[in-house]
Structure 1
Amino acid sequence: MITTQVRRARGPALAGMVLLTCVAMLAGGLAWRTALRTIDARLEQSLILTLRALETEIDRFRYLPQVAGQDARIAATIRSPTDPLGIAATNRYLEKITALAEASHLYLMDDTGITLAASNWALAESFVGHDYSFRPYFQQAVAQGDGAFYAIGVTTGTPGYFLAAKIVAGADVGVVVVKIDLTPLEHAWIAADLATAVVDPDGVVFLSGKPDWLYRPLAPLTPDILARIDEDRAYVGADLAAAKPLQRGSPDWIFDDHSGRLRARSAAFSGGWRVVAAEPVTPALYAALGWGTGMALLCGFGIGLAKIQRQRRQLVTLRLRQSDMLERKVAERTERLALEIEARRQIEAELRAAQETLIHSEKMAALGRMSAAIVHEISQPLAAMEASLAAAELSLQTASAKTAPRIETARNLIRRMQRTTKHLKSFSRKEEGRLEVIDAVLVVESALDLVQPRARAVGVVPRLIRPAAAMLVRAGRVRLEQVLVNLLLNAMDAVEGEAGGKIEVTLEERAGELRISVSDTGSGIAPEDLARVTEPFFSTKTNSEGLGLGLAISQAILAEFGGRFEIRSTRETGTVMTAILPRYQGGAE
């Protein structure tokens, strides 16, 4: 009987141990998978940043060989490869271009692969006279027009990425090559302790944040691949045959000699390259062990609580009541949140309406600032029309030949007033919030026409420096015109009353952005006021009719278009206000 009781006691204990083991294994497995997903997400983000950095670094020099090859000195050297004066001029040209572009090396080869001129012509490690016909980038350029290849330099012993372009000079052919140093990226990865690597199409690591990964394959290399790499002399001095592979079967894991097992993710890059990012999984193991142990303890604690459940019925009842109360509070809070959200939406709608009203008010204020000049602009043609028509009436019977020119003069004056009123109607109307692709040059010209009466009253002729091609941006035409009118009126206020005042409007593209600058030769803005000029209702003009909202509204409009606002001002040279907008890169709309 005692044996039976012991067996009955051991049964639940054994079942409890099995349950705790299963719970621990399940919790540990879930924690392990969750930690791996978290690591994979971080690795994907790291890959995106690495791909962008690598692409940006290479794109800086992608078209340098083709552009440099268009120089007449390059063509002359290709046609006359034995001309010492021509080669000397080409050497200096390549040396200067390399310094300006901050490239590693730039050199010219003939159609047989012999280097004719190079940027390092004056150094002991000069490329001039060397035969690089065995390099794949040269063979690709001759056959296809361009080529690319990463290798350790045979002459310099330093690694780099070679970009080549075929240059045709009449009946002769040459190849211009630029060597890009990608080691700054590698140094940044090392400084950040990132397990990042760039792998060539054969699976060999040639850039890495882990120095001991360099020139090691991800998987074992076949004899054919080793022979081809040796023929191309891509990794001179590296023993790839003896290098230990980083992966063992699965591409999701890398085995590092120091860090142990690493989780890995990779992404494809141009030219057959792959970028690999890895991270240690030791924290994931600790998390799995911790969760497994914790869940086992929690499950054991739950089993212990289950044994005294009957004695705590009152406590359970109280908790149920508290739960009901909490649910009621949550429902009430949810209802209040819904009301708050609706109120916030209504307030935001009112704020947008108020903002549109302020923009239109500032536009009307700008029209008010130009009103005197506009009245003068229209009154002059009216007076001239009256005089022309009166003269035409007097000369209608006596000298009919003079009547036609006078009537034509009156018609021209009428057209002049029509243009002025047309611009005023366009400027004063309210514009919808829709954005469209527009030519910023035309908007600048329209703004200049609109402020022309004010410019005549001030006694200044704004000068427009515009590019030959269209400058497309995605913006609102009338709102962008309002920004430019505000900048032009501020510039005219700055030079009003000053002898020899000048206003200049410049359009230029820089780094994918359109910069519209309005500069004046006025007295400038005080340094203590410069940081406040874009604040609402702030103005340094004591006699101005404006609301002090022009620059604040202009800054808000530019931000809506994805742009920004810059102001530079000194007492000696005046003020430069620049509206910066992203260039539209899509097709014509």
Structure 2
Amino acid sequence: MTPAARPPATAGRRWLLAAALLAVLAAGAAFALARGLALSESRTRLDQSLILTSRAVEAEIERFRALPGVAAEDARIRAAILDPANPARIATANDYLARIAGMTRADQLYLLNDRGVTIAASNHDQPGSFMGHDYNFRPYFRDAMADGTGRFYAIGVTTGKPGYFLSSRVETGGARGVVVVKIDLDPLRATWASAGQPIALADGDGVVFLSGDPRWLYRPLAPLGPAAQARIAQERTYDGLNPAASDPLMPDGTTIAGDALIARQKPLVAEGWTLIAAAPLAPITATAAAAALAAALVALFATGLFKLAQQRRQILQIRLAQSAQLEARVRERTAELAREVQARRQTEADLRAAQEGLIHSEKMAALGRMSAAIVHEISQPLAAMEATLGAAELTLPAGEDRSRARIATVRGLVRRMQRTVKHLKSFSRREQGQLSLIDLRSVVQNALELTEPRARAVGVMPETGPMPDPLIARAGAVRMEQVLVNLILNALDAVEGRAGGQVRVSAGTDAQTDSTDLHLRVTDNGPGIAPADLPRVTEPFFSTKTGAEGLGLGLAISQALVAEFGGRLDIASAPGTGTTVTVTLPAVMDDIATGTEAAE
């Protein structure tokens, strides 16, 4: 290598080192920023999931909260406490407890005397009966005798099955006892497991007693102290197990030991429990790595552009210094620039075409997701139609050949529809569950809590008026909240950016008519809906929002959910006057709401 060649080579190496250093720094900063944002978003999603899950757990327990106290007021229970040696009274109490357990779907109901010995039980005639067993060591017995009520989660020492025990003291004629209901929380665990959700419940000592992941079960969140170990052993909380011997699940309080999972916790104050939800770290790391790679490429590209600009300035200085060859070089450079301009134009055209292709791909991906959602909604009805037609065909009497042929034709059409959509993949499931008695006031409160971040961003906090007490309807609590959240978010979108924007949520009955139907209304003073668009707003994929603000599925899904509850969704609007959306649900009779329905 000649001395004249060394300086350019040295400068080139310096540029390469500078470019590499800049790329590394940009990648590191982008990785840290993207990972922090992804972690924050994941924590937010986990917190929202914890809110919904905690409500589901509390709702499951609240169904049985008053049951021990109600049973304790029954004359048959009081008679058994007064005269436990009377076989007729004990038999009557056994029969009463068995019937109540069957109607309420409680796991077990049983009656303890003042020494903690079982004198009557719903499983008195079954293997593993509680009759005659002494449970005075259980906290739910001691607490009920001392304070009137008690609660405790443990593995049953008689059945070996875990459950949540709620108790209430009975006092009559100087005699005392305790009525206990055992609740089986295993349906919650089964729901979490089937949904693939890493969710768990831990008791007051930090021991996981309910989890969709069996590997988490009966493991402490942190190492157990001597006092906690002694209390667990004395109360036989986990009879036959030793949680202290298991590895702690969350020794650092933020991640799951042994799994690449980020975890969040939420205390359930009423029960003294802790709810844990987790999410994988792999997608977060992948997102951060992609951002780092993109930042490194941008840094290298920017460095190359800077180097190119510097080289061009050097070439221009050389051309200015060479006056003798200026005219010829100008002509040559003009021709080169023309070619570069043409190449750049071509490149820009290619980039625009690529961008349009990416936008089109995103739209097609969105359409694919919407198609998957639609397929999810129609696949089950198609399967039900096919099964119903098959059952109808089997039950046709002999000689009904024309009807049999028609049914076969319809079944063929249904199968054809099923074959048409079976290749589409559905990755979103709607909530499934039985309808139950819910208080619409709780639905309104929960929906307002879920939409509060959006309301604060818009600058309009929804107003609520006085609501009658109670407002009992038969529906799905979470699905009803989904309907109201959709309506409130639509109203907030309508008033966003408008001076004096208002959103009002109300619930009650229509005092102007004799109807007992319940109404949920969401009213805004936004721009309203054009008369031509009003009949179509509940159609799937129809939206009056501009750009990519909405897919036009919110009102369609809400209308379908309300119809499942036997109600209807009405929309009243006019341009310039705002919009009112009314959800009408059939009211539940008072005697049903207070428990008569279970007796029937």
TM-score normalised by structure 1 residue count: 0.56
> Structure 2 CA distance, aligned partners of 1:476 and 1:125?
49
Q: For 1:555 and 1:219, how far apart are their aligned partners in 2?
A: 53
Provide the secondary structure at the position in 1 that maps to 2:204: coil
**What is the CA distance between 1:482 and its match in structure 2?**
3.5
Residue 117 of structure 1 aligns with which residue? 120
- TM-aligned CA distance change 1:12 to 1:280, over 3 Å: same
> TM-score normalised to the size of structure 2?
0.55
Paired residue type of 1:268: P
**Conserved in 2, the CA contact under 8 Å of 1:438 and 1:474?**
no
- Counterpart amino acid of 1:152? I
CA deviation after TM superposition for structure 1 residue 13, in Å:
2.2
Aligned residues: 358
What does residue 289 of structure 2 align with? 289
Shift of 1:51: 0.2
Give the structure 1 partner of residue 68 of structure 2: 65
Q: Secondary structure at the match of 1:37?
A: helix
User: 2: CA distance between counterparts of 1:55 and 1:292?
Assistant: 43
1:131 aligns with 2:134: yes
User: Using the alignment, how far apart are the partners of 1:247 and 1:290 within structure 2?
Assistant: 29
Asked whether 1:262 is paired with 2:261, we answer yes
| Cross-structure match for 2:274 | 274
Within a 5 Å distance, the mapping from 1:255-404 to structure 2 comes to: 255-256=257-258, 260-269=259-268, 270-309=270-309
Please list, as runs of the form range in 1=range in 2, the aligned pairs for 1:442-481 lying within 5 A after superposition: 480-481=510-511
Tell whether the 8 Å contact from 1:65 to 1:163 is kept in structure 2 after alignment: yes
Cα distance change of structure 1 residues 289 and 134 upon mapping to structure 2, 3 Å threshold: same
Whether contact under 8 Å (1:136, 1:147) holds in the other structure is yes
Match of 1:427 in 2: none
Amino acid at match of 1:264: A
Q: Distance in 2 between matches of 1:271 and 1:300?
A: 57
Matches of 1:291 and 1:556 in 2, distance apart?
44
- For 1:177-256, what aligned pairs fall within 5 Å after superposition? 177-248=180-251, 250-256=252-258
Pick from 513, 519, 522: which aligns with 1:483?
Answer: 513
Change (3 A) 1:293 1:101: same
Partner of 2:146: 143
Q: Is the 8 A contact 2:93 2:120 kept in 1?
A: yes
- Partner residue of 1:332? none
| Cα shift readout 1:553-581 (whole Å, capped 9, x = no counterpart) | 99679x96965155xxxxxxxxxxx7999
**Alpha-carbon separation, structure 2, partners of 1:434 and 1:40:** 30
Q: SS at the partner of 1:113?
A: coil
Query: Deviation digits for residues 377-396 of structure 1, max 9, x if unmatched?
Result: xxxxxxxxxxxxxxxxxxxx
- Give the alignment's Cα RMSD to 1 decimal: 3.6
Could you tell me how far apart the structure 1 residues matched to 2:511 and 2:263 are?
A: 52
Q: Which amino acid counterpart does residue 288 of structure 1 have in structure 2? A: A
- How big is the shift at 1:164? 0.5
| Secondary structure of 1:67's aligned partner | helix
Q: Distance in 2 between matches of 1:70 and 1:239?
A: 39
Residue 307 of structure 1 deviates from its aligned partner by 3.1
Moved more, 4-13 or 113-122: 4-13
Mark the CA change 1:173 to 1:565 in structure 2 (over 3 Å): closer, same or farther: closer
Shift of 1:437: 5.8
Distance 1:553 1:254, change over 3 A: closer
The verdict on how the C-alpha distance between 1:476 and 1:48 changes in structure 2, with shifts beyond 3 A counting, is closer
> 1:11 deviation in Å?
2.4
Q: How many Å apart are 1:291 and its aligned residue? A: 1.3
The alpha-carbon deviation at position 210 of structure 1 amounts to: 0.4
The CA distance in 2 between the partners of 1:514 and 1:169, in whole Å, is: 45
Query: Deviations 1:477-509 (Å, cap 9, x if unpaired)?
Result: 9xx34433xx7xxxxxxxxxxxxxxxxxxx69x
Contact 1:563/1:580 (8 A) holds in 2: no
1:99 aligns with 2:111: no
Whether the 8 Å CA contact 2:154–2:163 is kept in 1: the answer is yes
How far residue 306 of structure 1 moved from its aligned partner, in angstroms, is 2.6
Aligned residue type for 2:302: G
- Code of the residue aligned with 1:127 in structure 2: it is F
| 3-state SS in 1 of match to 2:257 | strand
The answer on whether the counterparts of 2:261 and 2:281 sit within 8 Å (CA) in structure 1 is yes
Distance 2:275 2:228 in 1: 20
The CA distance in 1 between the partners of 2:163 and 2:464, in whole Å, is: 48
Larger Rg: 1
- The Cα of 1:272 is off from its aligned counterpart by 1.6
Instruction: Flag the 1:436–1:273 CA change in 2: closer, same or farther, 3 A.
Output: closer
- In structure 2, the gaps of 5 or more residues are 313-336, 349-462, 471-504, 521-566, 573-578, 591-600
- Superimposed CA distance per residue, residues 305-329 of structure 1 (whole angstroms, 9 cap, x where no aligned partner): 23334768997xx99xx9xxxxxxx
Structure 1 Cα separation of the partners of residues 12 and 581 of structure 2: 76
TM-superposed deviation, 1:239: 2.4
Per-residue CA deviation, residues 281-337 of structure 1 (Å, 9 max, x unaligned), is: 01111111121112111211122223334768997xx99xx9xxxxxxxxxxxxxxx
**Contact residue 26 and residue 295 of structure 2 kept, 8 A:** yes
Structure 1 residues not aligned, in runs of 5+: 323-432, 441-472, 488-506, 516-551, 567-577, 582-589
Separation in 1, partners of 2:467, 2:212: 44
SS in structure 2 of the partner of residue 81 of structure 1? coil
Q: Which amino acid aligns with 1:252?
A: T
Deviation (angstroms), 1:514: 9.4
Task: Output one character per residue of 1:53-85: Cα deviation in whole Å (capped at 9) or x when no partner.
Answer: 100100000000000111001111111111111
Q: Equivalent residue of 1:161, what SS?
A: strand
Change (3 A) 1:69 1:222: same
Among 165, 168, 171, the residue aligned to 1:165: 168
Letter in 2 for 1:8: A
The verdict on how the C-alpha distance between 1:482 and 1:556 changes in structure 2, with shifts beyond 3 A counting, is farther
- Deviation track 1:402-428 (CA, whole Å, cap 9, x = no partner) reads xxxxxxxxxxxxxxxxxxxxxxxxxxx
Deviation (angstroms), 1:223: 2.4
What's the % identity of the aligned pairs?
Answer: 43
Aligned twin of 1:31:
34
CA shift, 1:221, in A, is 1.0
* TM alignment of 1:564-583, pairs within 5 A: 564=584
Which residue identity lines up with residue 209 of structure 2 in the other structure? Answer: F
Please tell me the residue identity of whatever aligns with 1:111: D
8 Å CA contact 2:507–2:519 kept in 1: the answer is no
Kindly indicate whether the alpha-carbon contact (under 8 Å) linking 1:475 and 1:561 is maintained by their aligned counterparts in 2. no
1:173/1:563 Cα in 2 relative to 1: closer, same or farther (>3 Å)?
farther
In 2 relative to 1, CA 233–514 (structure 1 residues): closer, same or farther, beyond 3 Å?
farther
Map of 1:502 onto structure 2: none
The C-alpha deviation readout for 1:114-154, integer Å capped at 9, x for no partner, is 11100000012110110000001111111111010000000
Are the structure 2 counterparts of residues 127 and 437 from structure 1 closer, same or farther at C-alpha, using a change threshold of 3 Å?
Answer: closer
Query: Aligned runs of 1:529-544 on 2, under 5 Å?
Result: none
Which ranges of 4 or more aligned residues in structure 1 deviate by more than 2 Å?
1-13, 305-315, 433-440, 473-477, 480-484, 552-557, 559-563, 578-581
Amino acid of the residue matched to residue 279 of structure 1? A
**Are 1:229 and 1:235, in contact at CA under 8 Å, matched by a contact in 2?**
yes
Q: Counterpart of 2:271 in structure 1: which amino acid?
A: G
SS of 1:154's partner is coil
Instruction: Report if the CA contact (8 A) 2:208-2:220 is conserved.
Output: yes
Distance in 1 (CA, whole Å) between partners of 2:250 and 2:469 is 54
